[in-house]
Amino acid sequence: MLVPLNWLNKYVRTKHSPKQFGEIMTDLEFMQDGPIKDTKWGKVIDLEVRQNRPDVLSIIGAAREYAAYINAPVKYPNQTDKIKFSKPKELINVSAKKVVKRFTAVEVLNVKIKESPKFIKEYLNSYGIEPINNIVDITNFVMLEYGIPMHAFDLDKLPKFDCKPLLNLRMAKAGEIFTTWQGTKATLDKNDLVVADSNNRLVSIGGITGELHSGISDSTVNILLEAANYNHAFIRRTAVKHNIHTDSSSRHSKILASDLVETAILRALFLIKKYAGGKIASSEDYYKQKQLVSIFTFDLQGEVNRLGGTNLTTNKCAKLLKRLGFSVEKKSKNSVKVIAPVWRTDINFEEDIVEEVLRLWGYENIPVQQINEAPPKNITDQKLILENKLRDILLLLGLSEQITEPLVLFENLPNQIQLSNPLNKLKNGLRTSIKPNLVQVFKTYKKSGIEDSKFFEVGKIYLQKNGRYSEHNAVQTYYSNTTSENVKSDLLQVFEKLGIKPKAKYNNKKVIYNLRQNKVATLDENSYVLYTDNILKVANLDQVPVINFETGFVQKIIEKITIKTEGQENLDKIANLIIKCSKIIDQVYIENKNKDIYAKDNLQSVTFTVIFSDDKNKLTRKDINNDKNMIFDKLETLLNLKVERPE
């Protein structure tokens, strides 16, 4: 939520610098998002407003919070005198009763469309909304002031057909098409709320966006002003489904206060009267589901101190709550009645009130308390203990650990699970085996020039059978460049360390190892899988040795440098020169001495593998390229070598 500080100052005079204001709001729950913007219209602060506080998607909402912090009153803006709303008849008809909580419409005749006054234009500009004309601007202005979206129609463009009401709130028909004022088309369904005119033509998607035809133009004379509150779930689903996100939909997707609809309408009518003239002709209000007031009678002090670990008095708690607009009334020694202010739709539990007290008092003031209770019985998952022991055993056998994503291509493998809303077409299923992932890792390593690889991964595979989904724990290995005898030897060594002697069953180029009817492992020519869940049933974990050692890790980037030589050079000298060129070169070696002699110049090429690593800083491509260029220069000038520079 962008908060222009000049605008906020209308409701509460700030006593702090913009930076301090940002820090205060951050402490209160509204984190400053990004740097303070310096605009032509003053400083603007972006605050993060989470889903529970739509009341602070407004300038007055932010002002209330700050005012509570400095213990000052909020100066609420002028609004027109209360008007008596009629029941829905001429102006509105609500058939979507599940969705519409409140809908208020007012007919204002003989308005004068012109530019808005300077302050409205400036405030809107500072928020980032382009001023259009006084009526449109006032609806936007009040939406930002109170957080209640509103809309004005050109009354003369809403036909009066068959004596039907002007605006009809109903669910859309499947396939009904709506064109937004920006010209995008949405094909609606029966779960979308729409507003139709008396001729059944759609004039808006409820709570989200309007159309062009019935909007305010320079020739508008009479208007129909409306503000509403809906069941947020419907608005949220419609906005997401049609990917239409507006200032209005972002507010209506949250739980707004129905009572504020009237406040916003009265405020807008005040501004319209003052800056556009006109006269109220009629007004109607649909308000069947009245907003519930949150009232709690409980031991306020006791609960605050029980959860906070604080030592606040009832009086102190009450004072803090009152600053936030709560009303507090002492009922008995340990019982206090707390009523939430009308704009707070997020107060549903006593604990919500506890939070209000503590956040205004300041989390920094909560005393830090060591946990002194004796720890309960250790219930660590035995599977995790086994997995850790297997990691150590495999590490000892020279295997490195990999962790890969289980999201894979759905290939309709037996029992494979398909995702219903995948991220993309290549990750639309879950793996049924970890081995393909490790083969992929091997390919990556091979590209880096490492052909001898031994990997393992501790992870899960996922299966479905007859609509039931299951996940299974497995430890998968993969060996390249070695004999199947070596792979098998390693597996036997794992069994040895686990203290188990399973029986081998040979089956179509695979060996399946069973122990007491539990499949504990499968071996093929270059890998084996250990079935953790079954091993747990047959191994005695306490007797599996602990081999805990730290191995460290430093990120490495591997580069190749090829030179042409007559075969006379001392290759070690060249390697030494390369290594001295940069502080981030870890190793230089020759993978394969390529003895192909170039027919043309009688030179042979030698490729050096250069490993860059840095245990202090993050490696960047720019640093590596700079260093490589320096290596090329030095090899050419100092050793007079021909270097193959990359294109």
Amino acid at 268: A
Under DSSP, the state recorded for 412 is -
Among 14, 32, 209, 522, binds another protein (CB under 8 A): 32
Question: Counting every residue, how long is the chain?
Answer: 647
Among 370, 507, 540, 568, binds another protein (CB under 8 A): 370
Among 163, 368, 546, 599, binds another protein (CB under 8 A): 368
Place of tokens 């290995």: 477
| Contact between 609 and another protein per CB under 8 A | yes
Segment lying near another protein (by CB under 8 A), choices 31-39, 113-121, 167-175, 322-330: 31-39
Among 422, 446, 482, 541, binds another protein (CB under 8 A): 422
Q: 269: which 2 tokens? A: 């009518």
- Which 464-503 residues touch another protein, going by CB under 8 A? 469-471
Opening angle at CA 631, ends 627 and 636, nearest 5: 150
Under DSSP, the state recorded for 50 is -
The contact pattern for another protein, residues 107-136, with x = CB under 8 A and - = no contact, is ------------------------------
Cβ proximity to another protein, 31 vs 512, nearer residue = 31
Cβ proximity to another protein, 243 vs 370, nearer residue = 370
Cβ proximity of 318 and 328 under 8 Å: yes
- Which 220-249 residues touch another protein, going by CB under 8 A? 232-233, 236-237
Q: How far is the CB of 376 from another protein (least distance, A)?
A: 5
Cβ proximity to another protein, 73 vs 302, nearer residue = 302
Cβ proximity to another protein, 282 vs 464, nearer residue = 464
Segment lying near another protein (by CB under 8 A), choices 111-119, 178-186, 270-278, 415-423: 415-423
- Which 310-329 residues touch another protein, going by CB under 8 A? 310
Cβ proximity of 197 and 167 under 8 Å: yes
| Contact between 419 and another protein per CB under 8 A | yes
| Contact between 379 and another protein per CB under 8 A | yes
Cβ proximity of 91 and 284 under 8 Å: yes
Residues 6 or more apart from 355 whose CB is under 8 A from it? Answer: none
Q: How far is the CB of 383 from another protein (least distance, A)?
A: 7
For the chain, state the CA radius of gyration: 36
| Contact between 383 and another protein per CB under 8 A | yes
Instruction: Round to whole Å and give the CA distance between 212 and 261.
Output: 24
- Which 252-291 residues touch another protein, going by CB under 8 A? 253-255
CA distances from 25 to 3, 36, 68, 144, 367 (A): 11, 13, 11, 18, 22
Instruction: Round to whole Å and give the CA distance between 166 and 105.
Output: 10
Cβ proximity to another protein, 139 vs 480, nearer residue = 480
Cβ proximity of 522 and 513 under 8 Å: yes
The contact pattern for another protein, residues 440-469, with x = CB under 8 A and - = no contact, is xx--xx--x-x-x-x---x-x-x------x
**Taking Cα atoms as reference points, which of 62, 73, 71, 70 lies closest to residue 25?**
62
| Contact between 373 and another protein per CB under 8 A | yes
| Contact between 421 and another protein per CB under 8 A | yes
**Taking Cα atoms as reference points, which of 543, 562, 559 lies closest to residue 626?**
559
Cβ proximity to another protein, 105 vs 358, nearer residue = 358
At 304 the three-state DSSP class reads helix
Count Cα neighbours of 181 within 13 Å in the Cβ-side half-sphere: 16
Q: How far is the CB of 427 from another protein (least distance, A)?
A: 7
**Taking Cα atoms as reference points, which of 357, 260, 215 lies closest to residue 57?**
260
- Which 549-578 residues touch another protein, going by CB under 8 A? 550-558, 570-572, 575
